[in-house]
Amino acid sequence: MASVSTLKFLICLVFCLFTSPASCQGKKNRLNKNGYQFIRKASSFTPSSSISNKRNSEGYDYIIVGGGTAGCPLAATLSEKFRVLVLERGGVPFNNPNVSFMENFHITLADTSATSASQYFVSTDGVLNARARVLGGGSSINAGFYTRASSRFIEKVGWDAKVVNESYPWVEKQIVYRPKIAPWQRAVRDGLLDVGVSPFNGYTFDHVHGTKVGGTIFDHFGRRHTAAELLASADPRNLSVLTYATVHKIVFDTRDKRPKAVGVIFKDEKGKQHEAYLRNNGQSEVIVSCGAIGTPQLLMLSGIGPKEELERLNITVVLDNPYVGKGMTDNPLNTIFVPSKRPVRQSLIETVGITDKGVYIEASSGFGQSNDSIHCHHGILSAEIGQLSTIPPQKRSAEIVQEYVKSKQEIPVEAFRGGFILSKVASPWSKGDLKLINTNVEDNPSVTFNYFNHPYDVQRCVEGIRIAAKVVHSNRFTNYTLCDRDSTATLLNLTVKANVNLVPKHVNDTKSLEQFCKDTVITIWHYHGGCHVGKVVSPDFKVLGVDRLRVVDGSTFTESPGANPQATVMMMGRYMGLKTLRERLGKTDGI
């Protein structure tokens, strides 16, 4: 039984690495299932509230598709002056302990049921991933780390630095906290400084070279505060948020030379179809905030994308744009598992080493599960299934599974008391694409990231693993773990055995760091692209070639901002809300 439990621990812990509690900086804006009347299930939507007549001038000023990391702050801001409808395909995070508590972090990722807050998908590269399916988006299922983008990123995107510096604090005052740094994180911090990732920049949101402690959206009780809580700043008289509302299509008026968005078609949790329309003026907009996977998928399903691909699936072409779904990128992550001879407190990402090698070094440790978690079948993460789908479904006989479990018995008991050092390649040069498999928006599209397709990414990964290995062998770190200085090859071999992806392993994957990088790549959820500026959207994120349609999310990015994107994506929602209000109304009424 010990080996099975250890296996469960290792596999779940690996998933805890994808993408953090103490003195509060913010308001105590706490939404819950009884809190705000503007959050309702989609089935409560009625013809009278939908303004279903296209010619009716009483439609919505803004329909936001996706109540995620960008969609929630955007909706809260726009509702200050305009009538806003938010359509979110998932439920609320407030009454779900698996989402709310840090110690249950892995549970949502392990839940592959239709009602899970995360939707599991596998890229064609063989790397397992997850999409958020809950109000608050990725901020409801991630590791909580909060850190801003670099000034270079802000300048590259072309954002107004003054408005950016207004928008970040708006988020931070409401949901961001200073972590009480865990012992494992302190040891990693000290190890990073020992090996030259300096200077130590202390606790800061800023993206600066060296080692630092960032913010977290987990409070000192270990409770998560998501982008959904930013809706507390909304004007409830102007905002309607529908959960379990799955948008199947954007509706266009194609009678003029330029198509214009007029509304959306969505289904509620009971499968009933509804229509919602914009107010009949030139400034109302449908804003898509479905993320790097959902946004290009919805644009293509609505008729905007590569003509040949759309016609292959009998989708009426509204606008032929070959760039939709192109330039998909994920920041590859590799890890070193490190056992410890002392108890290890659970921690997610709190410390980061921002190196001059183009890699970031982070850490995660421990394992937990609260008594009130929503227990579920762990699906792809269960020990009964084995190392995910490396055992094909048709071959998962009892004998094969037992053989697999037996092969894991050599994993040491110390695995219960250990953690990972993470190496993430920043701004990878390897690019992929997204394509539709079918016309069902609820199914995942085909996504290819082409991890390590470019040799420069492999080179930087090797540099990152070398730095991570030096941290593991540093005096500060070994004094904490109380472990002998195992050779790098020993640690890498242990990591390979605990690694979770569908990439075939090679006999030399612990001898060649290049092969190790390719064989053990996993995600940190920082995927982006598919709707790049200049190709799919304009610099103000309006979809090129059509009117009254905009994209506000990470699908527009050519690189992931900073060491973690969530701060910048939330800021982006607030930023675009402020810019839109000021463009329409001028700097009046304190906007």
82: Cβ–Cβ under 8 A, 6 or more apart, which residues? 61, 62, 238, 581
DSSP for 479-510, please give it. Answer: HHH------HHHHHHHHHHH--SSSPP-TTTT
Instruction: Give which of 582, 338, 352 is closest to 474, Cα–Cα.
Output: 338
First to last CA, the chain: 61
Question: Residue 156 half-sphere exposure, CB side, CA atoms within 13 Å?
Answer: 14
For residue 301, count CB atoms less than 10 angstroms from its CB and return exposed for 0-12, middle for 13-18, buried for 19 or more.
Answer: buried
CA distance 486 to 336: 12
155: Cβ–Cβ under 8 A, 6 or more apart, which residues? 161
Instruction: Give which of 349, 314, 320, 315 is closest to 333, Cα–Cα.
Output: 349
CA distance 284 to 343: 56
Instruction: Give which of 548, 552, 547 is closest to 531, Cα–Cα.
Output: 552
Which residue has 């390590």 as its token pair?
A: 452
CA distance 13 to 200: 28
Residue 526 catalytic?
A: yes
What kind and span of H or E run contains 353? strand 351-354
Q: Is 525 annotated as a binding residue?
A: yes
The one catalytic residue in 225, 274, 378, 526 is: 526
Q: What is each CA distance from 536 to 52, 542, 556, in whole angstroms?
A: 29, 8, 8
CA distance 18 to 464: 17
Q: Is 106 annotated as a binding residue?
A: no
Cis peptide leading into residue 199 (ω within 30°): yes
Q: What is each CA distance from 265 to 245, 275, 282, 298, 439, in whole angstroms?
A: 10, 5, 20, 11, 14
CA distance 397 to 386: 11
Q: Is 554 annotated as a binding residue?
A: yes
Q: Is 134 annotated as a binding residue?
A: yes
Q: Is 526 annotated as a binding residue?
A: yes
Q: Dihedral through CA 543, CA 545, CA 547, CA 553, nearest 10?
A: 0
CA distance 85 to 63: 5
Biggest CA pair distance of the chain: 74
Contact 321, 544 (CB under 8 A): yes
Q: Is 565 annotated as a binding residue?
A: yes
Q: Is 195 annotated as a binding residue?
A: no
Q: Is 288 annotated as a binding residue?
A: no
Instruction: Give which of 235, 232, 293, 295 is closest to 64, Cα–Cα.
Output: 295
Could you tell me which residues are annotated as the binding site?
A: 88-89, 134, 247, 525-526, 554, 565-566
Q: Which residues are catalytic?
A: 526
Could you tell me which residues are annotated as the binding site for FAD?
A: 88-89, 134, 247, 525-526, 554, 565-566
